[in-house]
Each structure stands twice: as C-alpha cells, then as structure tokens.
Structure 1
C-alpha cells in the first residue's frame, strides 16, 4: 500500500508535519513565523495541519527563518512540489475528492456507521443507495457505484489497511435495492468479516442510541504523515477533523457495546437467510 503514489493531498499533510517539526526544533513561534511571511495569524497552523499548501517562495522564507539548509531544505522543497501537483480525478462527490487519497494512504481505518459504508458496498447496493441521493446525478451513478466496490476490493489484496468497522444492526436490516442485491451485499459483508485485516462488529438495536451511529464517521491513521484524521460526511459536504479525541471515544464506546466478531458473523448469516427466504 505504501508503495503507491500517496498523491498531493497526503503529501500536503506530510509537508505540514515536517514544517511543524522544523519550526519547533528551531524555537520559532507561530506568530513569528507568520510575521516573517506577512501571513495572517493562524495561516501557518493551516499549513502545518495540511489544510493549506505553500508556494516555493514561501517555503524558502520559512526554511531560512528556521535555519534549515542543504539536503533537509531540498527535501522540504520536493515535498512542496509534490503537494502542489494536481490530483487525479476521483469518481466521487465533489466534497469527497480529498477523502479518497487519504483512505488509500491509510494503514488503519476505523469507522462507525448506521448503514453499510461505501468502502464495504457492492456496486449494486451502492447504485441503489446513490440513486436516492438528491445531489448525485443519474449520469454519475454507475461510475460512482463501481468506484465504491473497487475501493472495497483493495481489502482483499496484499498490503491492505487494517479496518475496524462497527455497524449498527439497522445496516443489516434496512433493505437497499432488491432482495437479491441486498442478499449479495450481506454476503459481501460476511466475506469481508473473514478477512485477516478486517475486524467487523455490529451494535444490536437493543443497545439503544450511540453518538457514532447518529453521526457516522471514519478515523484514518496516515502513518506517512503521523496523523489521524476524522472524516465526517454530510448531505452536501464533508469535514476533515484533526482533533479526534471525541471521535475516538465514540468509536471505543460503540465497539464496547458491539457483538463479538463471532456473534456478528452469526447475525449476518441469519440476515442472509432472512433475505433469501423473503
């Protein structure tokens, strides 16, 4: 997985982490560094968290202020060039374009969802779900649905990330598409649950409300950038949150109330039988 080109989004995160480490090692404060560039207060923080990029000239100014020269300086400039590249187009909603390269570069993925998340969907299930969206056009349905299944196919390959998925039982019960399509989706989940890199658990309906199920999210650990990012998608947009403590607590709470992996597999088997016999 790490042999793949991480793409400019991830390179921007790596660059930000490197700049933060260099600034702290030099003893330069955020305000002093912002002043050296004539930036507004807070802009460098956005660069260091990977939210914003920096031009070659701006990087040269920062490196000079931090006293960084030689190979170390050239490494940072190269990261800057990589971070400024144009990203390849993704077959997803506009607001999720940043998410796909982050997911691709992650070595660990934790998620809590009240429905089957895109990473675990079959093409037909994804198409049926996306067809109900008021913001997805008919022309994009097939390509976006196929892209979701292909993302999940990576879990079957060498170098797959470790995935911890906690789903609400309603994800298994709510029919999306035809009975056959729902059955195929449940069998896909059952296969994925057996993969060595996947831990799949279900929170039973009887356990009541959970913060993560009412506000689904994904936690991405990107080793190259030494960063954990929470991805929270809404109907028309998405948030990328680096202060992830609340999301980590919500994940731990949901996982603690979930069935064991064996009991989860047994529940999925019963749901498959129920769909087959309908």
Structure 2
C-alpha cells in the first residue's frame, strides 16, 4: 500500500467503527441497514470494515435509520469527508474516538512509555493521572478512566490483539495516586504479563537514554488495511503518522535493551513486595 493512501485508510477504519457502534446502539441488523443503502449485499459490511468509504447520501440514510443526534452526525460527516479523500497530509488531526477505533481494529500493538499507558491502567491509576491533565475536565475523569480500564479488559478475550509493551523502570516507582494505587497498578501489569498475547518488558535505568521513552508512542498494525500507524501523544493532543520507520526502529532498540519477560515479572514482584511494607 502506498504511503499517501494510509491517511484515507485511517479515516475509513475509524468511520467504519463509528458506524458499527451507531448501528449496534440502534439495535439494527446489518442486512436491514445494508438494504437501505444498497441493493448489493455486503456493501455495508465493507464500509464497517474500512474497505469502502460511505457516500454522503448513504450516511444520511443511516443517520435517519439509526436516529443519530445532530452533533454525532456532524462528527461522522466529517469523518466521511476525510475517508473519501484520495490523499491526506502527513499528520491526521485527532478528534473524538479516533484512537479507540484504531486500537480496536488493530491486530498488533507496540507501545513504549515512561509511565503506564492507558490500555494497561487500573481505574484508580487512570483517575489519578487524568486529574493532573491540563486539558481534561474534572467531569470527564471518571468516564475516561473507566473507558481505559475496559479497553484493557479486552486483552483477556480470545480475539485480543497481540501486544508488545516496553515501560521505563521509572513507571514502577512513580507513585501516581500514591503507593497503594501504584501497588494495585503493578499487580494489574503482572496479570497482563502472564497473558499469552501480551509481551511486557521493563527498560531498566541502567540501559541509559532511550529515544522511545522521551516521546511516548504506540504502533498500531491494521491487518485488514495492511497498514502500520504511529500514534504519538503530546501534552494537548495526539497525532497519527504515516511515516513509522523511525518509531519502529526506536521501539526495536528499546525492546532490545529491555529486561527479558521473566526478569520483568520478577522485578514487578519485588516492587509489589516493597510497596506492601
């Protein structure tokens, strides 16, 4: 797939996930909705899977069928416009639900973070972290933390993606929410570390500098689109990048210098014991 095709692919995947969510929420069967927009069986399935971009007229029919409120319809219309483009800029601007939709569509996830990333957080840790955010309102903290926890629970399912995560050793010491919140967070990490689809590594202090940890990021591989997208967090938002070479190389170096999985689990056990005292 050509690099300049990845932008529309991202938007098609996001659009498809949003339309599936709206259809499920409305309790409408796939075949019924498909019949409303096309005489060709399977078209809506392709739209929901990110293989096709829905036309403007098709979206309007679905909005009416699903009884989609105005603000949500406006958001999805914007997604539809982006999905129908033939090319997009190097950076795809972030807006509501983008990352969650891509994470749900990903078959492989690679992460490098100096703190525990949202996907692996407990509810308490997530709340404590979000409360310090300069861009998250207090009213949104509990809901956002709950959503992070639920995303992590998906990793326990049979069809969960394969996850490789490298955390800086500082994540095991920074007392986000206090020592007991950190202790329960480390216990959750230990649970994830025993899942067959999760490979967890800690990059020790002794490894020295790591470009991967100085700029937290996630690499999402979307198998059905044959595309890898880099999700890069900033203080006030995030970007989706089509050029992932530098991020893939940084992750490889970070993972290479990190502790093996067995040593990582042993270090988690020691830190949990320390926090018990």
What TM-score, normalized by structure 2, do the two folds share?
0.71
Q: Is contact 2:124-2:177 (8 Å) kept? A: yes
Closer, same or farther: CA 207–96 of 1 in aligned 2, 3 Å: farther
Aligned to 2:142: 142
Aligned to 2:112: 112
Cα displacement (A) at 1:187: 0.2
Aligned to 2:54: 81
CA distance in 2, matches of 1:47, 1:144: 26
Closer, same or farther: CA 158–211 of 1 in aligned 2, 3 Å: same
Closer, same or farther: CA 141–76 of 1 in aligned 2, 3 Å: closer
Aligned to 2:157: 157
Aligned to 2:258: 258
Aligned to 1:124: 124
Closer, same or farther: CA 172–95 of 1 in aligned 2, 3 Å: farther
CA distance in 2, matches of 1:77, 1:193: 35
Aligned to 1:30: none
CA distance in 1, matches of 2:124, 2:194: 22
Q: CA RMSD in A?
A: 3.0
Cα displacement (A) at 1:97: 2.3
Q: Is contact 1:96-1:238 (8 Å) kept? A: no
Aligned to 1:274: 274
The number of residues matched between the two structures is 216
CA distance in 1, matches of 2:187, 2:213: 22
CA distance in 1, matches of 2:12, 2:150: 29
Closer, same or farther: CA 103–275 of 1 in aligned 2, 3 Å: same
Closer, same or farther: CA 114–132 of 1 in aligned 2, 3 Å: same
CA offsets 1:205-240 (integer angstroms, 9 cap, x no match): 111110110001000000111110000011112110
CA distance in 1, matches of 2:194, 2:276: 21
Q: Is contact 2:6-2:227 (8 Å) kept? A: no
Aligned to 2:133: 133
Closer, same or farther: CA 76–177 of 1 in aligned 2, 3 Å: closer
Asked whether 1:188 is paired with 2:188, we answer yes
Cα displacement (A) at 1:160: 0.5
Cα displacement (A) at 1:75: 8.7
CA offsets 1:60-85 (integer angstroms, 9 cap, x no match): xxxxxxxxxxx8xx799952218967
CA distance in 2, matches of 1:105, 1:113: 21
CA distance in 1, matches of 2:96, 2:211: 22
What TM-score, normalized by structure 1, do the two folds share?
0.70
Aligned to 1:238: 238
Alignment of 1:25-44 (within 5 A): none
